[in-house]
Structure 1
Amino acid sequence: MLKKPRGTEDIFGKKAQDFFALEMIIRNVMELYNINEVRTPIFESYDLFSRSAGESSDIVNKEMFVFQDRKNRSLALRPENTAGVVRSVIENKLYLEENLPLKQFYFGPMFRYERPQAGRQRQFTQFGVEIFGGKSPSLDAELITSGIEILSNIGLQDFSVKINYLISGENKSKYIKVLKDSLAKMKLCEDCLNRIEKNTLRVLDCKVDQEKFDNIPSMSDFLSPEDDQYFKEYLSILKRMDFSLEIDAKLVRGLDYYTGIVFEIVSNDERQGSQSTLLAGGRYDNLVEELGGPQISGAGFALGIERILIALENAEISISQPTELDVYCIPLSKQAELFTSSLLFMLRKAGLKSDTSFVNRSLKSNFKKAESLKSKNILLIGDKELKENYVIIKNQTTMKEEKVKFEKILNFLIEEL
């Protein structure tokens, strides 16, 4: 028997309904914030991700699905979508002044070759926001508040907001020297030892040695006066919004392109385990230029849909309603079955959710099917009813049955509902 590839899943039934409901909630928030959708290819040039994520990142080194096309061009299934959105902005010249600030969101599948576990599949669905131009503390605050708004609108409340400010330039060099001295005194894993020379800040993202970094030098002590002022203004905006904030000196994110403000929103529910990060992102002011575009600032965040659904399940929050039919039709003869097709067309055109069996079931089985579909009404029709121009409609709430003439079916059902 053919089976789905490891690290993928079939989504159907209640989970498919939850996916749709979550997407609709997200889209409503995006409309409130005037953030428009962008759709980019599922696969891109391998170079796009290696240049953006960084050769030293786990995504490039371990996790990308890379393949050659028929002309031996190296392509990759997208492991994240910031790089694809930036490529689109450059290629389509969306960075023109009249478009700024350019606020976009995306929604779709991403691919990473990881060890599959709950909330972390090799194909997963990601939503994200990217904002270009107009660098300011207030715009950064709008970015994170749109994410918090999404979590709040789906009912999640028990989370913490972690924030850090990644230094750059000469101050970054000074900090890295001090950080290396501190790390040299620790016994670290092999990945950390490799990262110390390639990208020292990435060491702090290690999940194996995380507890060893509690007393490392703080980046905030090395900020330039300008960066320090920017960070303070950003924090003051968020504090006025009554968010629970934590400055985390170890927060660096897993991709090389981040500069300045970075953040994570983390669930406080212990049942989330290692999948506690609900949403994460930050500022990347050099990425557009590094990928061949003009010097223009950018910032964004992303969240994994599957992980959010796990958080909702843990919190016992339901965001989708079970499907309920208005009418379930039961034809009692072959001729009645043929008539039912046109009847269904009429009911659906009037906006009534309706269905029939389409398979040969007994009357008893049809009633059970109607009950499983939570149909509010059951409509029965056989040869006698066809001949005498009426149907029998049973209200499943009152259990009352009535004979209804063909021409009055719609009015009757609309009044009942």
Structure 2
Amino acid sequence: MIQKPRGTEDLIDLKVREYFALEMIIRNVVDSFNYNEIKTPIFESLELFKKGVGEETDIVSKEMFTFADRKNRELTLRPEGTAPTVRAILENKMYINENLPLKLFYFGSMFRYERPQAGRNRQFNQFGIEVFGPKTPEIDSEIICLSSTILNTIGIEEYTIHLNYLVNGEQRKQYISDLKKYLKPKSLCDDCKKRIQVNPLRVLDCKIDANKFDDVIDMKDYLNQSDKDYFQTLIDNLNNIGIKPIIDKKLVRGLDYYTGFVYEVKDKKGSTLLGGGRYDELVKQLGNVDLPASGFAIGMERLLIALEEEKIYISVPNSLDAYIIALSEKAKQFSNILLLMLRKAGLKVDFDFMNRSMKSAFKQSEKLNSKNIIIIGDNELKENNVIIKNQLTKTEKKVAFDKIVDALVGE
């Protein structure tokens, strides 16, 4: 038997209903914040992610699904959503001043070749938002507020928001130099030994050695006054709206394009639910347009796992308004007409297509959580009526053909 590829998942029944219920809740939240949707291709040029995400990141160096097309062009299944969004903005010239601030959101499948585990598949679904134009603490606090609002709306209330501010400019050079000195005596994994030489900040994002950096030198001590003031204003804004962030000097995120504040939201067990930050140089880097930006992304599967662990179910239980059982060949023919009529009236109905016995058909209606059972036989056809059994009240009645819709709608 052919099986699904490792690191992929089939969403079936309750899982798929929970997924789309989650998507609809998120859509309603971002609509209230006035964000518009963008959809980008599922694959892009390899060069986009090399330039945008960073060649030395684990995503680009280890985890991408890359292939050549028939003209030998190198393409990649997208591993994240920000670089494609920036590419789309540049290509479609969406950066004109009249569009700013440009507030966008996306849903889509992403692909990373990593070891599959709970909430981390090789094909996963991601929601993200991106804001282009303003570089202000106010837009950054709104972004964090938006992510918090999503979690609160779906019922996840126990979480912490971790915040840091990445040092930039000349101060960054001094921090990197001092960070290398701090890391040199540490016993690190093989990957981190390489990272120290090419991108020392990535060491702090290591999942293997993370517990060795609790006393790491603090980036905020290296910030210039302007960045310190910006970061403090962001913290003050969050406090003013009831969000109390944890300042985390180890937080750097796993992508090279971040340039200012970065943040992650962790559940009560310490697992990351979402993350993001500011990336003011990315648009310029990819298209020579000076356009500051910030945003965040959420793995939908991780949210679904968090909901399941909290025993929170957000989808409407699957049920039928009516299940039709025909007792004769003529009744089956009439049932086709009845099905069409009821569905046109907006009712959710189904039919016993398997010719089950009456007992088995009733069991099937219970499995489908049908509110009513409609029984049609030759006698009912002669009398121009049907029998409707209400499964909630355990009562039954005869109903004329032209009153069936009214009887069901009135339940």
TM-score w.r.t. length of structure 1:
0.97
Q: CA deviation at 1:208?
A: 1.0
Residue of structure 2 in register with 1:252 after alignment: 252
Q: Which moved more, 1:246-255 or 1:348-357?
A: 348-357
In structure 2, distance between residues paired with 1:317 and 1:61: 38
Please, which of 381, 384, 391 is the counterpart of residue 389 of structure 1? 384
Q: CA deviation at 1:401?
A: 1.1
Residue of structure 2 in register with 1:339 after alignment: 334
In structure 1, distance between residues paired with 2:295 and 2:96: 19
Residue of structure 2 in register with 1:72 after alignment: 72
Residue of structure 1 in register with 2:346 after alignment: 351
Aligned length: 411
Residue of structure 2 in register with 1:273 after alignment: none
In structure 2, distance between residues paired with 1:181 and 1:377: 73
Residue of structure 1 in register with 2:135 after alignment: 135
1:2 aligns with 2:2: yes
In structure 1, distance between residues paired with 2:391 and 2:365: 9
1:241 aligns with 2:241: yes
In structure 2, distance between residues paired with 1:13 and 1:126: 20
Q: CA deviation at 1:189?
A: 1.2
Residue of structure 2 in register with 1:87 after alignment: 87
Residue of structure 2 in register with 1:63 after alignment: 63
1:311 aligns with 2:294: no
In structure 2, distance between residues paired with 1:398 and 1:268: 43
Please, which of 263, 277, 286 is the counterpart of residue 281 of structure 2? 286
Q: CA deviation at 1:325?
A: 0.9
Residue of structure 2 in register with 1:149 after alignment: 149
Q: Given that residues 90 and 293 in structure 1 are in contact (C-alpha distance below 8 angstroms), is that contact kept between their aligned partners in structure 2?
A: no
Aligned-pair identity (%): 56
1:366 aligns with 2:361: yes
Please, which of 371, 375, 378 is the counterpart of residue 376 of structure 1? 371
Which structure 2 segments of 5+ residues have no match?
none
One-letter code of the match for 2:23? E
Q: CA deviation at 1:293?
A: 4.0
Write out aligned runs for 1:184-263 (5 A): 184-263=184-263
Which deviations, in whole Å up to 9, do the C-alpha atoms of 1:104-155 show, x marking residues without a partner? 0000110000111111110001000011001100000111111110000000
Q: What SS is found at the alignment partner of 1:393?
A: strand
Residue of structure 1 in register with 2:399 after alignment: 404
Q: CA deviation at 1:410?
A: 1.2
Across the aligned residues of Structure 1 and Structure 2, the Cα RMSD in angstroms comes to 0.9
Q: What SS is found at the alignment partner of 2:287?
A: coil
One-letter code of the match for 1:313? E
Which deviations, in whole Å up to 9, do the C-alpha atoms of 1:302-349 show, x marking residues without a partner? 011111111111111111121111111111112211211111111111
In structure 2, distance between residues paired with 1:189 and 1:163: 26
Q: CA deviation at 1:357?
A: 2.1
1:158 aligns with 2:158: yes
One-letter code of the match for 2:184? A
Q: What SS is found at the alignment partner of 2:70?
A: coil
In structure 2, distance between residues paired with 1:320 and 1:371: 19
Q: CA deviation at 1:408?
A: 1.1
Q: CA deviation at 1:43?
A: 0.3
Q: Which moved more, 1:344-353 or 1:227-236?
A: 344-353
In structure 2, distance between residues paired with 1:155 and 1:297: 33
In structure 1, distance between residues paired with 2:242 and 2:185: 39
Residue of structure 1 in register with 2:178 after alignment: 178
Q: Given that residues 158 and 269 in structure 1 are in contact (C-alpha distance below 8 angstroms), is that contact kept between their aligned partners in structure 2?
A: no
Q: Given that residues 370 and 378 in structure 1 are in contact (C-alpha distance below 8 angstroms), is that contact kept between their aligned partners in structure 2?
A: yes
One-letter code of the match for 2:56? S
List 4+ stretches of structure 1 deviating above 6 A. none
In structure 2, distance between residues paired with 1:45 and 1:131: 23
Which deviations, in whole Å up to 9, do the C-alpha atoms of 1:241-271 show, x marking residues without a partner? 222311011100000000100000000136x
TM-score w.r.t. length of structure 2:
0.99
In structure 2, distance between residues paired with 1:100 and 1:358: 56
In structure 2, distance between residues paired with 1:143 and 1:334: 61
